A = this chain, B = another copy of it.
């Protein structure tokens, strides 16, 4: 009442996580430090330990927040591969704005409630598709792992570089591939443009979903 503009008093853990996410998105995960967050909230570093056990606990809360943003589509009567694709797309949509911290969600999928909801839905669809429960578990786990990795590995530049620096960095990356000996790496040289940066993120993730669903469909036990 006295020190904050809002009615809440003291530090709000959700607000800490929110600013941690903002720092991670704009300056990278390395910039997320207890001391930095304390400074932003005009408080002593030790004040954060009243709300989080340690730094890892804070990062888990951050990951859980990302998973909480996953909007699972309602189950319907579409074929299971289409429903699977929708569910996986929901995960990508939640993670894509935060590529620098997306990988933190992987260990939380089987721990947090929203993660479990996603996992449960995927398992149900796989079982529906003909997998036994153990196969479904393995296939589901690996598929989710792949998609999280896809977001984390999306070719991107340091978010701190400005417009001019971006073009230069991309050009440098392309040149590094394009000037390789074409006799030894003909295909890499030919694909230099595509490999040097992510021209079209939509296409990138569309292919990612295509591959994930195709893998499931083709791997499922045929009756």
Contacts and interface: CB of A to CB of B under 8 A. Distances in A.
Nearest to A149: B149
B210 A127 contact: no
A190 to B, nearest CB: 5
Interface string A148-186: 111011000000000000000000000011001000111
- Central interface residue in A120, A146, A180, by most chain B CB within 10 Å: A146
A211 interface: yes
A156 B214 CA distance: 28
A141 B214 CA distance: 16
B141 A145 contact: no
B184 A120 contact: yes
Interface stretch (A4-12, A13-21, A69-77, A131-139): A131-139
Contact of A138 (B139, B153, B190, B207): B207
A215 interface: yes
Contacts of A116: 180, 184-185, 188
Contacts of A119: 185, 188
Interface residues on A, range: 35 or more
6 nearest A-B pairs in the assembled complex, by CB-CB distance: A149-B149, A123-B187, A137-B191, A215-B215, A146-B146, A137-B194
24 contacts: A106-B153, A110-B188, A116-B188, A119-B185, A120-B187, A123-B191, A124-B186, A124-B187, A133-B190, A134-B194, A138-B207, A142-B146, A142-B207, A142-B208, A145-B149, A146-B146, A146-B149, A149-B153, A211-B215, A212-B215, A214-B214, A214-B218, A215-B215, A217-B218
Given A120-B185, A134-B193, 11 more contacts: A110-B195, A116-B184, A116-B188, A136-B191, A138-B194, A142-B211, A143-B211, A146-B149, A146-B150, A210-B219, A211-B215
